[in-house]
Amino acid sequence: MTRLNGTLERQFARPEMRTTARFPKSAT
């Protein structure tokens, strides 16, 4: 799921950096 994780992180993790604070596992 590393590939999917990277894509999701780039799509919604980049514009919503504060969301990463809620999902620490996504920061991986």
> In the numeric block, which tokens belong to residue 11?
């799509």
Please write the tens of the pLDDT for every residue from 1-28: 566 666 666 666 555 556 556 666 655 5
Q: In the 3-class helix/strand/coil scheme, how is 1-28 assigned residue by residue?
A: CHHHHHHHHHHHHCCCHHHHHHCHHHHC
Q: What is the pLDDT of residue 22?
A: 65
**Rounded to an integer, what is the distance from CA 23 to the centroid of its chain?**
8
Q: What is the pTM of this model?
A: 0.20
Q: What is the pLDDT of residue 2?
A: 62
The structural domains of the chain, with segments of one domain joined by +, span 1-28
